[in-house]
Amino acid sequence: MCGNNMSVPLLADAVTVSGAERETAAVIFLHGLGDTGHSWADALSSIRLPYVKYICPHAPRIPVTLNMKMVMPSWFDLMGLTPDAPEDEAGIKKAAENIKAIIEHEMKNGIPPNRIILGGFSQGGALSLYTALTCQHQLAGIVALSFCLPLHKAFPQAANNGVNKDIAILQCHGEMDPMIPVRFGALTAEKLKSVVTPTKVQFKTYPGVMHSSCPQEMMAVKEFIEKLLPRI
């Protein structure tokens, strides 16, 4: 491993699950509000591929408006959970730049962008999608779980560089999600079809699942990663 992690703040203490053999691909996965990278590093370890490196950074701790300004791990401030709620545009854009710095770091270490998948759960899923769609590099794909698209009114114009017009997107949502109702996920899937090639968007829902993941969803994630990041 070459390169200096300290030049990329989010990498300094990120949880990294290294490959068991030569790493030829990477998955960068962002946790949800109030969580840390540890829980998703554990979940991804259960579906890991030996040639893939999994990077699970921790969000900075900031006051969150939605939670009475309590300080907690959050990628950006949240004012509400509906598609028409006010949004922390500056915070979202700054967070996206920090994730793009991780992508650039992996590229410098020899993993090309078309061998990198960006993913996340809830707020992390929202950020992964915004970051990938506004990225200047052609990525392999996006895994977005239980979320809705941030700054959705800015698209498709925000993705006008078109670099990721054909990116594959796996979107998953629990049908009983009380925090981000599945209908918001469905609206996001329709919006995404106006931003990328419509046939590249997969939207899978899971009966009985709340604002969490499930084994069937993790298997779908594994199949998606295997398909887009085959062994080379």
Domain ranges of the chain: 5-228
Looking at residue 159, the DSSP 8-state letter turns out to be G
Condensed to tens digits (0 to 9), the pLDDT of residues 73-124 reads 999 999 988 888 999 999 999 999 999 999 999 999 999 999 999 999 999 9
Calculate mean pLDDT across residues 42-55: 96
Active site residue 42: no
Which of 31, 35, 88, 122 is flagged as catalytic?
122
Question: Which helix (H) or strand (E) covers residue 208, if one does?
Answer: none
| pLDDT, the chain, mean | 93
46 part of the active site: no
Pick the CATH number of 5-228 from 3.40.50.300, 3.90.1150.10, 3.30.200.20, 3.40.50.1820: 3.40.50.1820
pTM of the predicted model over 0.85: yes
Beta strands in 99-187, from DSSP E residues, in sequence order? 116-121, 141-145, 168-174
Closest CA to 110 of 227, 17, 232: 232
- Asked whether the predicted pLDDT for residue 219 surpasses 90, the reply is yes
Please tell me which residue in 39, 77, 211, 212 is annotated as part of the active site: 211
Please give the helix or strand (H or E) that residue 108 lies within, else none: helix 89-108
Q: Can 177 be counted among the known catalytic residues? A: yes
| Structure-model confidence comparison of residues 154 and 47, the more confident one | 47
For residue 153, the model assigns a pLDDT of 85
